Amino acid sequence: MPRRAHADAKREEGGEARDTGSPPFSSAPRYLAVARILTSFGVHGEVRAEILTEFPQRFAGLQTVYLSEEAQPYPLESSRLRRGQVILKLKGIDTPEQAARLRGQLVQVPVAEAVALPEGQYYLYQIVGLAVETTAGEPLGHVTEVLFTGANDVYVVRGERGELLVPAIEEVVKQIDLEHGRLVIEPLEGM
């Protein structure tokens, strides 16, 4: 069963999960970032945005998106994919000047509107913060970051023993228990 973390989550600048200094398991975010506004586009107030989701087709079905830390709602009048980016027309944004003021804003959707993932796949926010222990019950720390490599994801675990890199493969990851906020692993020799 794959143990892939999807990055379609509320992310800090640069799109990576960062160690905030408080690793214990926390509740889910209210919103997931699906795009970041780059600039205005055209003369009718459209914006051109960088796609942050692995599911770009989701824009076609969105009715409302939320911008800024305050999650200001904007009805979505239209969207279209263009050269690896998305062009969005937000209700009430009708001039290039209004659109330009939105530069850098995250385009968000409520967590309840997250694309359903197949069994064994998780969103980044679900993995970061989990307490990690061995199958023998030894606590190792908390997941502070997920590295996306070509072969498999790698969970960065920080605890009293320092930093551990845990490959997200079946031979190592034995259980992901979101309800109890823990990840159980069978360490490889030398971990």
Q: 92 and 76 in one domain? A: yes
Distance between start and end Cα atoms, the chain: 22
φ, ψ for residue 125, nearest 5 deg: -65, -25
Residue type, 129: G
Q: Which residue range forms the structural domain that includes residue 51?
A: 31-113
Domains held by the chain: number: 2
Task: Give SS3 for 33.
Answer: strand
**What local confidence, expressed as pLDDT, does residue 190 receive?**
74
Q: Alpha-carbon torsion 179, 180, 181, 186, what sign? A: negative
Residue type, 159: G
Domain assignment of residue 191, yes or no: no
Q: How far is CA 34 from the centre of its chain?
A: 8
CATH number at residue 21: 2.30.30.240
Q: Which residues face 169 on adjacent strands?
A: none
Identify how many contiguous H helices and E strands the chain contains and give both numbers.
2, 14
Domain assignment of residue 190, yes or no: no
Q: Which of 113, 135, 154 is the last residue of a domain?
A: 113
Q: 155 and 94 in one domain? A: no
Q: 108 and 35 in one domain? A: yes
Q: Which residues face 175 on adjacent strands?
A: 184
**What local confidence, expressed as pLDDT, does residue 88 receive?**
98
User: Reduced to 3 DSSP states, what percent helix, strand and coil does the chain have, rounded to the nearest 5?
Assistant: 10, 45, 45
Identify the helix (H) or strand (E) that includes residue 92: none
User: Tens-digit pLDDT profile for the chain (191 aa)?
Assistant: 345 566 554 333 223 232 333 344 455 689 999 999 999 999 999 999 999 998 999 999 999 999 988 999 999 999 999 999 999 999 999 999 999 999 999 999 999 999 988 888 898 889 999 999 999 999 999 999 999 888 899 999 999 989 999 999 999 999 999 999 999 999 988 77
